[in-house]
Structure 1
Amino acid sequence: MNKPSGYRWTILVINFIFLAFAYAGLSTWSIAVPELSKTFSLTPAQTQLGASMLMAGYAIGSFVESLIAARIGFKKTGLLAAVLLLIPQFTIPFVQSYNLILFLRFVQGWGVVWFITTSMTTAWFPLQERGMASGIVGGAIPFGIGFGGLLVGWLLSAVGSWQKSFIYFGFIVLAIAILWALLARDAEVNNMNEGVAVEANPNLKNINPFKLAAGWLVAFCLFANAWQLIGFNTVLPFYMYDLGYNSTQAGTAIMLAGLIGVVSTPLGGIFSDSLIRRGMEPTKARAYIMAIPGFLIAGVSTILFPTVAKMGYGPLLLMAILAGWGVPLTNASIGALPTDMLKNPDIAGKLFGLIILVGISGAVIAPFAVTSISSSLGWTAAFMALGIGAMAGVVLGLVIPAFRLKEGD
């Protein structure tokens, strides 16, 4: 058995940093929204379009980039994504048309590099470490959102305007992108043993990843993931205001629900790696961890949230943490499964692009759908709809192993 390259840890660290700052940079939008709403006389629905357009670009861009990466590699595709992330960051402060701003938000979504950073990282790690690696990179998402809000808030107070905050943060992300360009490398895939990077399987060389049933089920899992996560964060502050809590209390709940993902995402990968080392089939290990400590906890806590939240602020925070724990935990399995199943980074990258295209559409739909449900049917129905979405993820996770590729396929 060949020894895994020590450079994989450099790849892990630099991809975590790159993804964290990509997500942190997106926090600049939240500080621009109040001023943009005044300038362009926007309705709440029009304001929400800014976030939805970003997610639409994220979904479509990840899929297109997966096809590009199969031809030119993850690093070159990542450089393209960095350009698409940064151009809108420097341009939006000077644009006088909200429609053009929405277009730039769509373009910026192509620069959200979860596909690039996860695909590159998982290709460097052996099977028994791949879940941990995927989880750590995935943990950059809640970490970036959490510290990004703090950093952007500090920038706003230091420089005095959202426009300058956009530009200054753009330079920070530019520096990180340059560092990534210097250190990132694509993994080499040969006929390797299990101990090194990806275990290239000649039987899978010509497989069409878009026809893989298990891959589509993972994509629907990511849809359930995005539906609960984005929907929950959309309705949580408004529900708390309706209960009489102030913005600081609501902000604390949102922060705790987000930052717990920094812990749960790596743990999801570590749990599944542990099961694999004990002899469990890899797809089964990833899927079961995704279903039980991930979606099940998220689903139950979201359904019960409005009932428990009325008991007091402490119980509300506890349920917010549990609701925030479950879905990010599933990202570790979602990121590792394409490489686990297909054992070739180029083919696995195409599948992961499809998974993001299908899955992140849940983040586009959820804010509008859950807001409509809460307005027409009430808060309990809204949280119930989000929780049922997560519970669908439980069912999907439990049936994925039945559709996995088997030896000789």
Structure 2
Amino acid sequence: MTTATPAAPSPAKGTPFRGRIRGKVLLLLCCMYAISYIDRTNISTALPHITEDFGFSETTAGVVVSAFALPYALLQVFGGTISEKAGPRRALFVITVLWGVATLWTGLSVGFWTLAAAPFLLGLTEAAAFPAATQAMSRWIPRDRNGFAQGVVHSAARLGNAVAPLLVAWVIAATGNWRWAFVATALLSVVWALVWFVWFRDRPEAAKGITDAELSELPPVETRATRPPVPWRQLARQILPVTFVDFGYGWVLWVFLTWIPTFLSSTYGLEIGSFAWFTSGVLLAGVVGDTVGGVLSDRLIHRGGDTRHARRVVLVIGLGGSLVCLLPLVFGQGLAVATVALALSFFFLELCNANLWAIPMDVAPQWSGTASGFTNTGFGIAGVVSPIVFGALIDASGWQLPFALSCALLAAAAVVAWLMDPKRLTSVDGRLEVGTPSSERGHA
């Protein structure tokens, strides 16, 4: 049975984080997101050294990087469902310890197969990480701040992107060996896991020191404390278009995460100490873009816009802006123009990230782990295909053609983002209710 969900009033302004336990939860999740991307992208900075040590071609290097994305893509939905059953406290503890082991393994690799196995294990363990974190946010974050919360944590992820080249370059310069960079970053994961498990609580009402006022600002108890059976068919129908948009976004993001250090090194002859700074400068633009994208869409909702319109407007602006700024790379440019174009392209691209992760919280708050797993499958598939195809095109024709293909995918994703119309799914007394776009007005 399907009925329209009654509209809820839109707050005049977002509920606060300062002085609330949820602010500490969000801060701790920010640290996790940053560490996860340090562990994902440290291999990109070390890749020139790794390929030199092992004699890899660019295509082979792309295969190694893609080894992360195959299990990451395949286990997104499964990982999100498992994290809902286990609860984010236990799930994220196990996940972060295991990905710390995977990161350490990278530093101990001795050839192609052992090196490829390390990112494979990392992808296997990280597959459930962001769905589990989204489940935690669905319990702890007021609905009118979904975009802001996702923007902030993904800004932290991009900060991890930006810090990783400098951290890895510093460790390599200090030790003379790229392997120690992976030992150092592995320790960060284990430390975070211990802090999370000791402090975090799955149920806000079980948290020490939480007030009735803060509990009243959180999502309804049935959203954060119950988990009815997943409506797989209806959920897939709402989320699959978002998955395609996430694929287009993810393709270009993987280009930035995988190939920018190599692009700067091979095209402009920069040494690691130089291209690490240029890479960090490009990736820092994403730190700003993530938070701006989330805040912008939340503000559109607070001013009376419906959720669908707010999310899709920011998505189209982000995808279109990234496309336009990436065009100079198709024709080849000097170092200064290329760096500015890449930074602006990455800023616009990251306007999308918070909105792509907020949509599952908007659409299916009771199944946000599974729904976000559906969405992030697009990013995972892009991670399998993008590094391999991009690397093969570089070997075959240089850098212009793969950048042109990236622009085409951004255009396709922008069209789908404008046309998609996901609706809210909720279970009330065992009945599935499907909200219409008008009934979503004022929800976040």
Verify same fold: TM over 0.5: yes
1:316 matches 2:344: no
The match for 2:423 among 395, 404, 407 is 404
CA–CA separation in structure 2 for the residues paired with 1:352 and 1:118: 7
Native 8 Å contact 1:233 1:254 kept in 2? no
Question: Aligned pair in 2 of structure 1 residues 85, 264: CA closer, same or farther (>3 Å)?
Answer: same
Native 8 Å contact 1:222 1:360 kept in 2? no
Spell out the pairing of 1:40-55 with structure 2 (5 A cutoff).
40-55=54-69
Structure in which a larger fraction of residues adopt helix: 1
Query: Equivalent residue of 2:373, what SS?
Result: helix
1:208 matches 2:231: yes
The match for 2:166 among 131, 134, 150 is 150
- Partner amino acid, structure 1, of 2:250: A
- Partner amino acid, structure 1, of 2:161: I
**What is the CA deviation profile of residues 179-222 of structure 1, one whole-angstrom value per residue up to 9, with x for unaligned ones?**
12223332459xx99942368579x9555245432311111111
The match for 1:70 among 84, 87, 110 is 84
1:11 matches 2:11: no
- Partner amino acid, structure 1, of 2:386: A
Deviation at 1:17, TM superposition (A): 0.4
Deviation at 1:67, TM superposition (A): 1.8
Question: 2:304 is matched with which residue?
Answer: 279
Question: Aligned pair in 2 of structure 1 residues 218, 390: CA closer, same or farther (>3 Å)?
Answer: same
Question: 1:260 is matched with which residue?
Answer: 285
Native 8 Å contact 1:209 1:348 kept in 2? no
**What is the CA deviation profile of residues 66-86 of structure 1, one whole-angstrom value per residue up to 9, with x for unaligned ones?**
121121112211122112202
CA–CA separation in structure 1 for the residues paired with 2:50 and 2:217: 52
1:183 matches 2:199: yes
- Partner amino acid, structure 1, of 2:312: A
Query: Equivalent residue of 2:407, what SS?
Result: helix
Spell out the pairing of 1:187-202 with structure 2 (5 A cutoff).
187=203, 195-197=217-219, 200=222
Query: Equivalent residue of 2:420, what SS?
Result: helix
Question: 1:24 is matched with which residue?
Answer: 38
**What is the CA deviation profile of residues 223-256 of structure 1, one whole-angstrom value per residue up to 9, with x for unaligned ones?**
1111112235555556556765634665444323
Question: Aligned pair in 2 of structure 1 residues 30, 288: CA closer, same or farther (>3 Å)?
Answer: closer
Mean CA deviation greater in 6-15 or 277-286: 277-286
Deviation at 1:144, TM superposition (A): 0.5
**What is the CA deviation profile of residues 324-381 of structure 1, one whole-angstrom value per residue up to 9, with x for unaligned ones?**
112222110111111111121xx12111112222322112211222333455556443
CA–CA separation in structure 1 for the residues paired with 2:195 and 2:223: 33
CA–CA separation in structure 2 for the residues paired with 1:250 and 1:91: 26
1:229 matches 2:253: yes
1:393 matches 2:413: yes
The match for 1:296 among 299, 320, 337 is 320
Question: 1:91 is matched with which residue?
Answer: 105
CA–CA separation in structure 2 for the residues paired with 1:240 and 1:70: 41
Question: 1:352 is matched with which residue?
Answer: 372
Question: Aligned pair in 2 of structure 1 residues 153, 254: CA closer, same or farther (>3 Å)?
Answer: closer
CA–CA separation in structure 1 for the residues paired with 2:148 and 2:188: 28
CA–CA separation in structure 2 for the residues paired with 1:244 and 1:4: 46
Question: Aligned pair in 2 of structure 1 residues 162, 239: CA closer, same or farther (>3 Å)?
Answer: closer
Question: Aligned pair in 2 of structure 1 residues 385, 24: CA closer, same or farther (>3 Å)?
Answer: same
Query: Equivalent residue of 1:339, what SS?
Result: helix
Native 8 Å contact 1:25 1:169 kept in 2? yes
**Structure 2, unaligned runs of 5 or more:** 1-8, 206-213, 427-432, 435-444
Native 8 Å contact 2:41 2:257 kept in 1? no
Deviation at 1:406, TM superposition (A): 7.6
Native 8 Å contact 2:80 2:370 kept in 1? yes
Question: 2:429 is matched with which residue?
Answer: none
Q: What is the number of residues matched between the two proteins?
A: 401
Question: 2:440 is matched with which residue?
Answer: none
Deviation at 1:151, TM superposition (A): 2.1
Native 8 Å contact 2:69 2:380 kept in 1? yes
Question: 2:348 is matched with which residue?
Answer: 326
Q: What is the aligned-residue RMSD (CA, Å)?
A: 3.3
Query: Equivalent residue of 2:125, what SS?
Result: coil
Native 8 Å contact 1:73 1:186 kept in 2? yes
**Structure 1, unaligned runs of 5 or more:** none
Mean CA deviation greater in 50-59 or 8-17: 50-59
